Structure 1
Amino acid sequence: MSQPPDSAPTPVPTPHPAADQTVPSRVPLAIEDWLTVIIMALLALITFANVLVRYFTSASFAWTEEVSVFLMIVLAMVAGSAAVARNRHIRIEYFADAGPEKRQRALARFGAAMVALLFALMAVLSARVLWDDVQYGETSPGIGVPQWWYTMWLPILSIAIMLRAIGLMRRGGRPASDSSELPTSPEVRAEEHAP
């Protein structure tokens, strides 16, 4: 029997640099995670209650559509904050995740700066809308509550996303991990994954 010629060893693919190098966040990401769970649960309960009422009475709650739309907007903003902190916001991966690690980090910092700028502008403009709602006594179209009950959350959540983007820039483009997950040394990680 003949032996096959020695072949070159197969190179082991290296993991994406941004994926394994998370940095603990000062503000726990669990805040956004729990808010997402709570808002989703509220949306499900409101929708389920409205379906039951419509099925048994041929009428519906007047407030459900207005509150559901508000909760969906808040959900998008809260999830956007978590996505920015974890460096998972929308981007063109062909450009953002290719090339050397230094280039990837520079693009991540640039993207975070643009996100921070956008949401700073959104915070200012939505604060003006909030002021108008308070000043002119605007009420919501569906149930007639003060409109500022809804609009006050837009500048607050815009500032939260802006701060998460600034945190991403300060971490050098490295995604955040929850602060409760303390980083471990390579030796400890090797012991945890040993057979």
Structure 2
Amino acid sequence: MDIKSFLDKKLEEWVLIISLIILVLIVFVQVLSRYFLNYSFAWSEEIARYILIWVAWISVSYSIRRQEHLRIEFLKDRFSPTVQKYIELVVLILWFLFAIFLAIEGTNVILGIQSSGQTSPSIGMPMWIAYLAIPVGGLLMTIRLIQQVYFLFRGNKRGGI
């Protein structure tokens, strides 16, 4: 598999797999530590929360790429295939505008948090790193939505998967 194909089809999948493994291990160790040693790691809950936030935002992009996001299609399915294509295009454009909004406003939020110097309570991580998931997610959504418009007019229902 070449690098272009990996970036297009597997990057988000691998990031999600590795992140979920780390998340499960952190929570598992924390539970065992509380149960058997009666000791709690102060940092584990905070790191698990931030990993989960990143997983959620990257998962949106991944689900767009695979066309496995939640959809309500009962109204669209009542039209001819040609009309369905244009309805899909309108939906993708509206979703694209929302993703752009998330990327821009998320960046503005990050710049504000970065200038304030806010850090997380347990591990002292700069909070802008946790909030960076919003514009990164918006940017990834934007890229994947552009891809979906391309796939829509190329006639590839599943986007090459």
TM-score (norm 1): 0.71
Aligned length: 154
Deviations 1:132-175 (A, max 9, x none): 12111011133322112212232122101111011111222633
Is the Cα contact below 8 Å between 1:80 and 1:89 reproduced in 2? yes
CA–CA distance in structure 1, aligned partners of residues 76 and 55 of structure 2: 26
Distance 1:62 1:26, change over 3 A: closer
> Mapping of 1:139-178 within 5 angstroms?
139-172=119-152, 174-178=157-161
Distance 1:160 1:53, change over 3 A: same
> Mapping of 1:62-101 within 5 angstroms?
62-101=42-81
Is the Cα contact below 8 Å between 2:60 and 2:137 reproduced in 1? no
With a CA cutoff of 8 Å and minimum separation of 6, indicate the structure with the bigger relative contact order: 1
Match of 1:135 in 2: 115
Shift of residue 127, structure 1, vs aligned partner:
0.5
C-alpha RMSD over aligned residues: 2.0
Unpaired segments ≥5 residues, structure 2: none
> Residue 117 of structure 1: which of 97, 100, 120 is its match?
97
Is the Cα contact below 8 Å between 1:109 and 1:168 reproduced in 2? no
Q: Identity, % of aligned pairs?
A: 28
Unpaired segments ≥5 residues, structure 1: 1-24, 179-195
Deviations 1:30-77 (A, max 9, x none): 112112211111111111110111122212111111111111121111
Distance 1:81 1:169, change over 3 A: same
Dislocated runs of 4+, deviation >6 Å:
none
TM-score (norm 2): 0.85
Shift of residue 103, structure 1, vs aligned partner:
2.2
Shift of residue 81, structure 1, vs aligned partner:
0.6
Distance 1:76 1:83, change over 3 A: same
Shift of residue 97, structure 1, vs aligned partner:
3.5
Larger Rg: 1
Answer 1 or 2: which has greater helix percent.
2
